[in-house]
Amino acid sequence: MSSFTLWVDGYVQEKRQIRILDGNGIDYDIDVGWHMVKQNSKMIENGKYISKICLGAVQCSNEGYTAYKIDIRPKSTLALIKKQLKAVCVRCHSLSLEHIGCLARVNFKFEGFHCTMIHQHNHTYKAYDLIHAPRMALARFREHMLQHPAEEPLGLIAGTSPISQTALVSVDNIHPYFSHQGRVKYHRGSVLQATGQKSSGLKSDENAFS
């Protein structure tokens, strides 16, 4: 199943085909970029229904710093967001974080071999940086790396190759998450190490993206 469009706003409806795995399992990706939490899940005729609500964003309220009103990804629950607000802003080092609520919601309806996504309402904040790649994007990146194991991070991003007569497609086309050199370097190393082509030299996920 291909991923749904990320960072949609307002009313948007999309339909994707579910991929059937060996053993009758299914593969699907319901990431839409925004950080959401499950509100309801129930079985329906010929399928399943999942409803999610947006958790909003966290912003710095200190007008004297460049971090003012920059949207930050919230934690995964309201309880964790409350703890997040008690921490100092990493940019201005003051207790200035506030939670921006949001009314947007997304409904997913699984019927037969398809999943329909219905996004409703506008978000009250802008898209924030992704800290993890969607699962389907990681799978496509892995396939790309296995086809081009000799390519370096910069070449993978630029879509160029030092190998004569080799045409590459930029990994940024897989997902904008892979426009960051540190991320590409980390995930490239992970793929090569997992396939026995590289044994060491990986940084932690967090440090690689800074």
Burial label for 6, CB within 10 Å (0-12, 13-18, 19+), is middle
Q: What is the pLDDT along the chain (210 residues), one digit of tens a residue?
A: 567 888 899 999 999 887 665 556 666 778 888 889 999 999 988 889 999 999 999 999 998 887 788 888 899 889 999 999 999 988 888 899 999 999 999 999 998 888 999 999 999 998 877 667 777 788 888 888 888 888 888 888 887 766 655 557 888 888 777 877 888 888 888 888 888 876 444 444 444 443
- Please choose, from the candidates 180, 196, 99, the residue with its C-alpha nearest in 3D space to the C-alpha of residue 146: 196
Helices vs. strands in the chain: H and E counts, helices first = 5, 9
Alpha-carbon gap, residue 107 to 49, rounded angstroms: 7
The confidence score (pLDDT) of residue 172 equals: 82
Contact by Cβ (8 Å): 134, 174: no
Burial label for 167, CB within 10 Å (0-12, 13-18, 19+), is exposed
Mind listing the pLDDT tens digit for each residue in 174-203?
Answer: 877 787 788 888 888 888 888 887 644 444
Average pLDDT of the chain is: 82
Mind listing the pLDDT tens digit for each residue in 156-165?
Answer: 888 776 665 5
The confidence score (pLDDT) of residue 117 equals: 95
Contact by Cβ (8 Å): 118, 13: yes
